[in-house]
Chain A
Amino acid sequence: GQQLNQSPQSMFIQEGEDVSMNCTSSSIFNTWLWYKQDPGEGPVLLIALYKAGELTSNGRLTAQFGITRKDSFLNISASIPSDVGIYFCAGRSGGSNYKLTFGKGTLLTVNP
């Protein structure tokens, strides 16, 4: 089946630093999504990517859909304490495949 490798598993950074996390897939995806999950809450969609090479920003967040369609990265610039949480990548191969395959998440801790 499809597998997503998300790295790093966890990050501990100082407020104001930039962070980067990425996902790689064993197969091609047509859609890449990045979610953030706060404790006790469900994941919330941050950015959606639909085309290979697409670069999309949402405030301090920037994500890219890799040219090979097998990878994506998420960058957070000038981190703040409320960025703390678990970030998940998710991908879909498209067509009639309605399932999202999720990575195992990156736990981000921001030290004020």
Chain B
Amino acid sequence: GAGVSQSPSNKVTEKGKDVELRCDPISGHTALYWYRQSLGQGLEFLIYFQGNSAPDKSGLPSDRFSAERTGGSVSTLTIQRTQQEDSAVYLCASSIRWGTNEKLFFGSGTQLSVL
């Protein structure tokens, strides 16, 4: 597609349930990023993929969070046993490659609400 696509756009779940968030990056972009945006806060880096590998997972808030990327394209962010503090907008971004001059293109995000 022309831009980064994320689904679902909104997700309401009950505390303790697992959720999967999907990101389709721009075709040809090798780098993919997940960020979390809480109300009134800046963007918090979660994880980064170069191809299918994630060199740095240190931004993931806890071991309940995991992410994978297959075929160098689609990525899934999974949150297990969701907690109310997980409620936030989860943003995905892609770029042609990583480097000092890359530019990120963001999707519209998934608004996650944990009741």
Interface residues of A (CB under 8 A from B): 4, 6, 30-31, 33, 35, 40-45, 48, 50, 88, 90, 92, 94-95, 98-105
Closest residue of A by beta carbon distance from B103: A45
Question: CA of A100 to CA of B98 in the docked complex: distance in angstroms?
Answer: 11
Query: CB-CB < 8 A to A100: which residues of B?
Result: 43, 45, 104
Whether the pair B109, A42 counts as a contact (CB closer than 8 A) is yes
Question: CA of A97 to CA of B82 in the docked complex: distance in angstroms?
Answer: 30
Check: B71 CB closer than 8 A to any chain A CB: no
Whether the pair A31, B100 counts as a contact (CB closer than 8 A) is yes
Closest residue of A by beta carbon distance from B106: A42
- Give A30 Cβ to nearest chain B Cβ, in Å: 6
Counted as pairs of residues, one from A and one from B, with CB atoms less than 8 Å apart, the total is 55
Closest residue of A by beta carbon distance from B44: A102
Give the bracket for the number of chain B residues in contact with chain A.
20 to 34
Query: CB-CB < 8 A to B26: which residues of A?
Result: none
Whether the pair A88, B100 counts as a contact (CB closer than 8 A) is no
Given A30-B100, A98-B48, A98-B98, A42 contacting B42 (CB threshold 8 A)? no
Query: CB-CB < 8 A to B101: which residues of A?
Result: 31, 48, 50
Query: CB-CB < 8 A to B35: which residues of A?
Result: 102
Query: CB-CB < 8 A to A33: which residues of B?
Result: 103
Query: CB-CB < 8 A to B41: which residues of A?
Result: 104
Whether the pair B42, A45 counts as a contact (CB closer than 8 A) is no
- Give A88 Cβ to nearest chain B Cβ, in Å: 6
Query: CB-CB < 8 A to B105: which residues of A?
Result: 45
Whether the pair A45, B100 counts as a contact (CB closer than 8 A) is no
Q: Can you show 18 pairs from A to B with CB atoms below 8 A apart?
A: A4-B42, A40-B108, A41-B109, A42-B93, A43-B43, A43-B91, A45-B104, A45-B105, A48-B101, A90-B43, A99-B45, A99-B48, A99-B59, A100-B104, A101-B45, A102-B35, A103-B42, A104-B41
Best-buried of A98, A104, A105 by chain B (most CB within 10 Å): A98
